[in-house]
A and B are shown apart, each in its own frame.
Chain A
């Protein structure tokens, strides 16, 4: 760490480092690479050699957000991804990924609310036996009677729900 940096312990094995004064992204690497290497060094405890791994997640001010809470939330997201991809590495918070994730989350919530609010309706499309010229059955298809956007076809919302608990509720 440099003179100007500060380190805070957030909880348990979570620490926050405040690093400032960088002019370009390449400069972060000069601090973060050695940090990961140092943390990865083996420790000699009695006769055993122990190693710890570190996942580092990085969010940038002012690029990513304006306030401390949001920055910490971003860092938390990036941490989750860093752990998923294996330890001993650092990852940057990705603003566009975050926007997409939040948009998806909000759409899922709205779809769930639509089920609760009884906005989904079942339309029946007749199946016709052309030879005998009569209706033999129907296929039920869901439509969303959206209060602002009007009647939505399944294509507008079903793909988004695929594989989620919301879709199961829809069934």
Chain B
């Protein structure tokens, strides 16, 4: 879905639409060791993409197991200009 979202976002930008896209992502993916690396590679495959247009929301009914890892991931993603809107201010542990 991330791939499709990036494709969609690129399409919009090519058509001159300045829109941001927010996607849900599972805590499992975010906590995967190669998440930041894979995300960086995906972004690199869409060079036309305007930065700051993608945001990811951690969608999980389970709590995040390793908060330190997640905090590091969010930090790295900020470097990639991908934001976690609901998680940068508070950990996303939905009811």
Contact = CB atoms under 8 A, between A and B. Distances in A.
Interface string B1-35: 11011001000000000011111111111001000
A162 B25 CA distance: 11
Contact of B5 (A122, A163, A170): A122
Contacts of A167: 26, 28-29
A45 interface: no
Interface string A56-67: 000000000000
Interface size of B as a range? 20 to 34
Contact of B19 (A136, A141, A158, A162): A136
B28 A122 contact: no
Interface of B: 1-2, 4-5, 8, 19-29, 32, 59-62
Interface of A: 120-122, 124, 127, 135-142, 158-159, 162-165, 167-168, 170-171
Q: Top 7 A-B pairs ranked by shortest CB distance?
A: A137-B20, A171-B29, A122-B4, A140-B23, A139-B22, A140-B5, A167-B26
